C-alpha cells in the first residue's frame, strides 16, 4: 500500500507520518483487505446513547472485539441486543481513527440462543421461584422510621454517596452504618453473604433495615447479585432488606429475593426514610389536636362537677320537707312524751343528714380541685408559666427551634411566653 502525506524529518533521511495518518492508513487497509464476515459471540456491555447508535462488545471464552451498529442499520433489525445474548454478527472490520480502536461495524444481527450467563440466570430464577423464595407472603415489612440503617456495598462506589446524601437530606437523625464488601469479581457473592450474616447478628444497636446495592454494570459485573449464595443469604436474614442493584431496567435475583426492590440506590434511600418536614408538620398538627382535646376534656369535667354540686343541693330540699312534716306531727301529737321522742328522732335524723351532706360536699369539692390541678399541670400553658418559652423563626410559627445549629446570627426569631410573644434578633450563638 502506498504511503501518502509523508514528510521528511529535518536532519534525518527518514519518512515521518502523523498519528492521524497512521490510523487512516490502517483503517483503509483493514476495510480494503477484509470482506463482509460473520462472527459468532456473546453480547456484553451493550449501550444505546441518545444518538440511536448501538455499541457493544462481542466475546467468546478467550477474546473480545468492540462492535458498533449505526442507527440506519439497527432500525431494521429483528434482534434487540442485550447482555448475555449469543448472536451471529455480519459486518466489516474497521478502525475508529479517533482512538485507534479496532472494531467490527455490524450490518446484521441474528440470535443463536441466550448466552451462558443469561441462561444460568433464568434457570436459577425458576428454581428459586419454585422453592417459594420469592413469595410475597415471606416478605418482611419495611419500618416506617428506621433508627439504624445498614448499607452493604462497595465503599468506593457512587451508590454509597447517593444514599448518604439522600438520608442526610430527608431524615438526618437516622444512624447509617456502611458494611463494605466486594461487589464484583471472583468470590464477591461469598463476601456479600458474610456481610449479611454479620448484620443479622449485630446488636449494638441492631439494624432496622439493610440496603444491598451497587451501581450499574454488565451481566458479568452483576453476577454476585444473581448467584444462589446471595439469594439464600437474603432469605435467611431476619432483617428487612431493600435491594437496589444496577439501573432501573435491571432486575437481579437479589431484587426478587429481597423484601423490597428499589430501581436505583437513590430510590432505596428515598423508600426507607420519611421526610423530616412532613413529620414535623404532623407533630405540630397532633400537638394542636391534643390541646383541643384537653380543652374539651376540661370543659366536660367542669360541667360534671357543676352537675354534682346540683345533686348535693337535693338533700337540703329533703331536709326542708322533713321539717315541714315535723311541724305537722307536732300539731297532731297529743301525747307530749311521744311527741318529744319523735322530735328527738327527727333531730337525730336531721343531724345525720346534715353531717352526710357536709361530708359529701367536702369529698366532691376535693375531687374537683384534684381534677382541676391535674388538668392545669398537663396544659402546655402551665409549662410556659413556669418560665419556659417556645422559640421559632419569625413567620414560621409551626417550626420550633430546638438546636442552636438551626439558626445563625441576625436571624429574626419569635419567643412565645405564657403571655405574649417577643420578637428578637440573634446577636450571638453559644455552644
DSSP one-letter string for 204-219: TTBPSEEEEEE----T
| pLDDT < 50 regions, the chain | 1-3
Strand-pair partners of 49: none
Distance between CA 292 and CA 294 in Å, rounded? 5
Q: How far apart are CA 307 and CA 314, in angstroms?
A: 12
Q: Please indicate, yes or no, if residue 8 is contained in any of the structural domains.
A: no
pLDDT of residue 416: 83
Residue 106 in any domain: the answer is: yes
**102 and 216, same structural domain?**
no
Amino acid 2: pLDDT: 45
What range does the domain containing 337 cover?
Answer: 277-378
Q: Residues 241, 345: one domain?
A: no
pLDDT at 134: 95
**Site of grid cell 297529743:** 334
**Can you tell me the distance from the alpha carbon of 246 to that of 241, in angstroms, rounded to the nearest whole number?**
16
The DSSP bridge pattern shows strands 101-114 and 64-69 to be: parallel
**pLDDT, tens digit, for every residue of 189-221?**
999 999 999 999 988 899 999 999 998 877 778
**If DSSP codes are grouped into helix, strand and coil, which group holds residue 131?**
helix
Residue ranges in 259-335 assigned as alpha helix (H): 265-272, 276-332
Task: Calculate ∠ Cα 219-224-225, nearest 5°.
Answer: 80
Distance of CA 49 to CAs 71, 123, 182, Å? 11, 31, 29
Q: What distance in Å separates the CA atoms of residue 414 and residue 208, rounded to the nearest whole number? A: 38
Q: Is residue 31 part of a domain?
A: yes
* 8 A C-beta contact, residue 238 and residue 109: no
Q: Indicate the residue among 93, 114, 135 that finishes a domain.
A: 114
What pLDDT score does 150 carry? 96
Given 251, 274, 297, which residue is the final one in a domain? 274
Query: What are the angstrom distances between the C-alpha of 230 and each of 89, 154, 239, 357?
Result: 34, 15, 15, 79
> How far is it, in rounded angstroms, from Cα 189 to Cα 191?
5
Q: Among 333, 352, 378, which residue terminates a domain?
A: 378
Based on the domain organization, do 389 and 366 belong to the same domain?
A: no
pLDDT single digits (tens) 362-382: 888 888 888 777 777 767 667
- The Cα 133–Cα 235 span in angstroms is 7
**Phi then psi dihedrals of residue 399, to 5 deg:** -105, 120
Residues 238 and 159 occupy one common structural domain = yes
Q: Is residue 29 part of a domain?
A: yes
104 and 181 belong to one structural domain? no
Cα separation, 231 vs 407, in Å, equals: 47
The count of domains in the chain is 4
Based on the domain organization, do 65 and 191 belong to the same domain? no
Please indicate, yes or no, whether residues 284 and 245 belong to a single structural domain of this protein.
no
Distance (Å, rounded) from C-alpha 157 to C-alpha 186?
18
Exposed/middle/buried for residue 186 (C-beta within 10 Å: 0-12, 13-18, 19+): exposed
Amino acid at each position: 500500500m502506498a504511503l501518502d502525506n509523508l514528510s521528511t524529518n529535518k536532519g534525518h533521511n527518514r519518512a515521518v507520518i502523523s498519528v492521524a495518518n497512521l490510523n487512516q492508513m490502517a483503517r483503509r487497509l483493514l476495510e480494503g483487505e477484509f470482506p463482509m464476515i460473520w462472527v459468532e459471540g456473546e453480547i456484553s456491555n451493550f449501550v444505546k446513547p441518545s444518538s440511536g447508535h448501538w455499541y457493544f462488545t462481542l466475546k467468546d471464552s478467550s477474546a473480545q472485539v468492540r462492535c458498533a451498529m449505526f442507527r440506519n442499520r439497527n432500525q431494521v433489525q429483528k434482534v434487540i441486543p442485550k447482555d448475555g445474548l449469543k448472536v451471529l454478527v455480519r459486518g466489516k472490520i474497521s478502525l475508529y481513527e479517533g482512538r485507534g480502536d479496532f472494531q467490527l461495524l455490524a450490518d446484521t444481527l441474528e440470535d443463536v440462543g441466550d448466552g451462558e450467563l443469561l441462561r444460568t440466570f433464568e434457570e436459577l430464577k425458576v428454581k428459586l421461584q419454585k422453592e417459594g423464595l420469592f413469595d410475597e407472603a415471606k416478605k418482611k415489612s419495611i419500618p416506617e422510621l428506621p433508627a439504624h440503617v445498614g448499607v452493604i456495598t462497595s465503599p468506593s462506589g457512587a451508590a454509597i454517596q447517593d444514599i448518604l446524601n439522600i438520608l442526610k437530606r430527608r431524615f438526618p437523625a437516622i444512624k447509617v452504618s456502611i458494611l463494605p464488601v466486594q461487589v464484583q469479581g471472583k468470590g464477591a457473592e461469598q463476601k456479600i453473604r458474610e456481610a449479611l450474616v454479620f448484620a443479622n447478628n449485630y446488636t449494638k444497636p441492631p439494624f432496622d433495615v439493610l440496603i444491598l446495592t451497587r451501581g450499574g454494570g454488565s451481566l458479568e459485573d452483576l453476577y454476585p447479585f444473581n448467584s444462589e449464595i446471595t439469594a439464600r443469604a437474603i432469605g435467611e436474614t431476619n432483617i428487612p432488606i431493600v435491594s437496589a442493584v444496577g439501573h432501573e431496567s435491571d432486575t437481579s435475583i437479589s431484587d426478587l429475593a429481597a423484601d423490597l426492590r428499589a430501581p436505583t440506590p437513590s430510590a432505596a434511600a428515598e423508600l426507607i426514610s420519611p421526610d423530616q418536614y412532613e413529620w414535623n408538620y404532623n407533630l405540630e398538627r397532633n400537638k394542636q389536636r391534643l390541646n383541643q382535646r384537653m380543652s374539651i376534656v376540661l370543659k366536660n369535667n367542669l360541667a360534671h362537677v357543676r352537675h354534682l354540686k346540683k345533686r348535693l343541693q337535693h338533700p337540703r330540699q329533703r331536709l326542708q320537707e322533713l321539717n315541714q312534716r315535723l311541724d305537722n306531727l307536732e300539731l297532731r301529737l297529743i301525747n307530749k312524751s311521744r311527741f318529744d321522742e319523735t322530735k328527738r328522732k327527727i333531730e337525730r335524723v336531721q343531724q345525720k343528714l346534715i353531717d352526710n351532706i357536709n361530708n359529701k360536699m367536702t369529698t366532691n369539692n376535693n375531687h374537683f380541685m384534684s381534677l382541676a390541678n391535674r388538668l392545669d399541670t398537663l396544659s402546655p400553658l402551665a409549662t410556659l408559666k413556669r418560665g419556659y418559652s417556645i422559640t421559632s423563626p419569625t413567620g414560621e410559627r409551626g417550626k420550633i427551634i430546638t438546636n442552636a445549629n438551626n439558626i445563625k446570627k441576625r436571624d429574626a426569631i419569635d419567643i412565645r411566653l405564657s403571655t405574649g410573644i417577643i420578637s428578637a434578633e440573634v446577636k450571638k450563638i453559644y455552644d
